Structure 1
């Protein structure tokens, strides 16, 4: 299997502040990565750096062998980097259908296929974005990213603040995406939600890799998670 993403000695942050410190990892095409860690350890900063909205102090970001670290966000998106932010960023004044068709690019992922993944969206296809629940807005945000037909999908805490029944629906959809071979990096506060269907996991602490292992290994022996996710020490944002 070929390598899709390689991050080498990456240091980045906001303004003068460095949050990510010399981070290195790789992701094979068709694989998914769980990005774990307490609040403030650099998970969102890494996602923001991959899409191109932080200050990069050093290092490389290779997508299918091309260094995209100096490209602006829109150029990275054209090369196949998809993103679902915590804020969702849907068009609230457009219908569900319009949200999907307005941004769709040619490829396997069409609005019809998104409706198959999220039947709730098809039921509400004529509803405005502002009329959707928080969970439905998250489904729409993921659907909007999918119809861009990305090579790599970045999801920043997709289940945060949602009702348990919606969380179960979203996790089922993410499992299906993983089975379909879509490369993903998923940020999540509760690792047991995503470790069962991701291939590998990285635990961040203070902007650096604290633990790197196959997801199945962490599930079988969660002592590393306990060590890095239940500690009370504070880390800078």
Structure 2
């Protein structure tokens, strides 16, 4: 398995405030990483930093051997970063189809493949972003990231605030994208067991540093350890 992403001694934050301290980890081609931790531990900041949306104070980020840490976010997208932020960032004044075609890059992921994965979007391709439910907006945000045809998909709490039936549908889609399509991914999620089940490895953040790294299967099989790392009282 070849290495896709390598992060070394990463320090980043917002303005002069440093949130992440000496973060180092690697991700192999076709692998999925679960990024866990309590609220406020730096998970979203790490995702945003990989996407180029924070201020980096030190360290390096390389994707497929190419240095990304000095590139702006649009050049990171062109280099292979697909980003689904918490805010989803769809174009609400455009239709579903226009959202997809506006950012599409050549590759195997096309709007038609997105519609096949998310039939709800196919039924609403002429609807504006403002006319979609929260779950449908999340599907569209994922579709927009996919049609960029990335090498690495960054998902920041993709299941947050969604109905159980939509959560099940999105988990199935994420599993297909990563397990069957072989797209590498980093997923931040507050439902650790759900994400660990479809991940290869996991890291846990606390106070902006990596406090634990393990195989996802190992953490999933050790709920007491997981609860302790996430500060959950039994």
Tell me the TM-score normalised to structure 2 length: 0.97
Does structure 1 retain, via aligned residues, the 8 Å contact 2:32–2:185?
yes
Q: Secondary structure at the match of 1:194?
A: helix
Partner of 1:219: 220
Q: Secondary structure at the match of 1:4?
A: strand
Q: Shift of residue 222 of structure 1?
A: 2.2
Distance 2:205 2:211 in 1: 5
Distance 2:71 2:98 in 1: 29
Distance 1:52 1:177 in 2: 23
Partner of 2:172: 172
Distance 2:48 2:16 in 1: 16
Does structure 2 retain, via aligned residues, the 8 Å contact 1:33–1:199?
yes
Unmatched tracts of structure 2, length 5 or more: none
Distance 1:110 1:15 in 2: 37
Distance 1:130 1:167 in 2: 21
Distance 1:52 1:125 in 2: 30
Partner of 1:153: 153
Q: Shift of residue 98 of structure 1?
A: 1.1
Q: CA offsets per residue over residues 93-131 of structure 1, 9 Å max, x none?
A: 111111111111100000010011111111111111110
Misfit runs of 4+, over 4 Å: none
Give the alignment of 1:1-237 within 5 angstroms: 1-179=1-179, 180-231=181-232
Tell me the TM-score normalised to structure 1 length: 0.96
Distance 1:99 1:24 in 2: 35
Q: CA offsets per residue over residues 184-212 of structure 1, 9 Å max, x none?
A: 00000110111111100011001111110
Distance 1:52 1:110 in 2: 25
Q: Secondary structure at the match of 1:114?
A: helix
Q: CA offsets per residue over residues 56-75 of structure 1, 9 Å max, x none?
A: 11100011111111111111
Distance 1:102 1:48 in 2: 22
Q: Shift of residue 46 of structure 1?
A: 0.3
Distance 1:114 1:80 in 2: 18
Q: CA offsets per residue over residues 25-55 of structure 1, 9 Å max, x none?
A: 0000100000000000000000111011211
CA RMSD of the aligned region, Å?
1.0
Distance 1:54 1:124 in 2: 34
Q: Secondary structure at the match of 1:108?
A: coil
Does structure 2 retain, via aligned residues, the 8 Å contact 1:100–1:144?
yes
Partner of 1:235: none
Does structure 2 retain, via aligned residues, the 8 Å contact 1:211–1:224?
no
Q: Shift of residue 231 of structure 1?
A: 4.9
Distance 1:66 1:101 in 2: 27
Distance 2:10 2:163 in 1: 36
